[in-house]
Structure formats: C-alpha cells, structure tokens
Amino acid sequence: MTTADEDILRVEGLDFAYPDGTVALRGIDLEIHRGEFLAIIGQNGSGKTTLAKHFNGLLKPSEGDVIIFGMNTKNASVAETTSRVGYVFQNPDHQLCHRTVEEEAAFGPKNLGLSDEEIKNRVNEQLKFFDLEARRNEDPFFLSKAERQRLAIASVLAMHPELIVVDEPTTGMDHRQSVAMLELLDELNKKGYGVVIITHNMQLVAEYAKRVIVMLEGRVCLDGSPREAFTKTEILEKTFLKPPQIARLSLMLSDFGFGVTLNTKEFVETLNEKSIGTRRKR
C-alpha cells in the first residue's frame, strides 16, 4: 500500500561526472512525492537534464543513490525503472522511430510483454487523450512539432508510469500550443500522475508548477513553491533566471502591499483590492 505523501523517488548524495571528467552534479539530495507537479529550472548547462536522466535510471550516479519506488537504480534494470518513471526527451524526434503513430504508442507496452488486448486498450486511451486518434495511421514525421511532442508523451504514458519527466515540453511551440500542452500535463497530474518538467518558460512555471527546483552549477540552490522561488530574485539572478514579468512588476509594487503575483489575473485582483481604498477617498 502506498500513502499520499510517500516518497516515490529519493536522491541521496548524488554526484555525477561524465566519462570525460566533466562534473555535472554535486551532492544532490531530494525527494519527490506522489502526485507532485515539479519544475526544474536553471541556466543552460546547469545540470537540469543530467539530473532528470537519473530519475529513471538513464544515467547512474558516480556517487550516491537514486531510489525509485524502493529500487536502487544501481541494481535495477532499465526495463524495471523506465516502466515506473517515464522520460520524454527534449527533442521528440530523438525518441520517435516508428512508421506510424499507432506503432509508436504501442512500442513501450509491447516491450512490457502485455497482451495484444491490453496494448490496444492503452494505445487507444493515449491517442484519445492526446487528440491523435485521427492520425493513428500516419507517419510521425508528417505530424506538426506540437503533435510529435504529444505523441512522444503518449508513447511514454502507454507504459503507465507513475511519474513522468518531460524535458522542455513547449520548445518551439506558440502560445496556444504551449498552454494546451501544460493543460494536458496538469490534467495528468490531477489524475494522480507525478509530473516533472524542465523548462525555461517562467510564466508556465508560475502558472502550473506546485514546486520549483532551481539548479546552479550542478547543485540544487533553491527548492520551494513558485511563489517562494520568484521572491528570491538575488538567487535567481545568479542563475540567469528571472521571474515572469508580472511577478517582477508585483515585486516593484511591494511598497503598496503587493506580494508576488504569479499571473496577470492574480495581479489585477490585487490591484483592484489595493486601489479600492484610494477610490473611496476620491
């Protein structure tokens, strides 16, 4: 039996160096709990992707341990770990390799040795959720970038992992596509999936993530809610990050009693509230 706040993933004293000696991660400790929506942010080259690749055993620690659902990735096979924690690569084209959308989505479940019936059900379920049913017989190559990204996620989810890690879910997408993608991830999170995203889009982090991890030179330098993280502007500056524009505006208005606002709606609500007093006096 699992409980709601159980750690599904535990990282202890993780160091990692690439074979050429480049140290990418230093002394990382963190837990990910069931049902979290976590964003990993940090400047280019800070170790975000390297850390995330440890979450399902794609990379193994040089020092320290990564425990996934009680399994140490040092001893577990990739098949065991990847079916529990799904990983969607930064560029979906690095992942998509089948002739049709349907075959792509069926690949993972087939490797799990599931029955044809179960594979069919899972493929149908995912293609429906990601609005790809009409394109099931097409070559993934002919899908739009946004559709290929959805297919990459659908293919990973077809293995029914409990935690899904998506590296840069919205790169190259326009505003509507980006929001639609995050809405889908949010819906998955509400269904009980743990979601981890790596992103440079602070606006989406503010809007959707419940927890933020900030990476700097291979270390975790901040771990908290988006509201907490976007208040720490001095730490963010060191990491080449900055809060979304509307959060920065609210910080500039702190003399008027503004806390950090995470989106424009929240900002305008605060503005209305704070300006009521002034309007009465007129």
Partner 1 sequence: MKMIQVQDLWWKYEAGQQYALKGINTEIDKGEFVAIVGPNDHGKSTLCMCMNGLIPHAFRGEIKGNLEVAGIDTIHSDIPTISTKVGTVLQNPESQFVQMTVVDNIVFGPENLGISPEEIKRRVGSLTKLTRTEGLLERTPDELSGGQKQRVAIASALAMTPEILILDEPTSELDPVGKTEVFSLLGRLKREANLTVVLVSHLMEEIVKYADRVMLLYEGKIELDAPPAEFFSNGDYLADKGVELPQVTEAGYLFDRSKRLLNAYPLTLESAYNAFRNVLTEGR
Residue 233 makes contact with partner 1 by CB under 8 A: no
CA 46 to centroid of chain Cα atoms: 16
Least Å from the CB of residue 212 to partner 1: 13
Residue 32 sits in the site that holds partner 1 (CB under 8 A): no
CA 78 to chain centre: 20
For the bound state, the minimum distance from the C-beta of residue 272 to partner 1, rounded and expressed in Å, comes to 7
How far apart are alpha carbons 132 and 126 in whole angstroms?
A: 8
- Minimum Å gap between C-beta 266 and partner 1 is 10
Number of H helices, E strands in the chain: 11, 10
CB of 246 to partner 1, least distance (A): 4
| DSSP-derived 3-state class of residue 282 | coil
Cα separation of the two ends of the chain:
62
What whole-number distance in Å separates Cα of residue 37 and Cα of residue 42?
17
85 lines the binding site for partner 1 (CB under 8 A): no
User: Which of 10, 120, 200, 219 is in the footprint of partner 1 by CB under 8 A?
Assistant: 200
For the chain, the C-alpha Rg in angstroms (whole number) is 20
Interaction between residue 259 and partner 1 (CB under 8 A): no
User: Which residues between 147 and 186 bind partner 1 (CB under 8 A)?
Assistant: 168, 171-177
Q: Which residues contact 80 (CB under 8 A, 6 or more apart)?
A: 71
How many positions of this chain bind partner 1 (CB under 8 A)? 43
Q: Is 219 in the site for partner 1 (CB under 8 A)?
A: no
Q: In the complex with partner 1, which residue's Cβ is closer, 67 or 179?
A: 179
Residues that bind partner 1 (CB under 8 A): 42-45, 90, 144-146, 168, 171-177, 200, 202-203, 240-242, 244-246, 248-249, 252-253, 256, 264-265, 267-268, 271-272, 274-275, 278-282
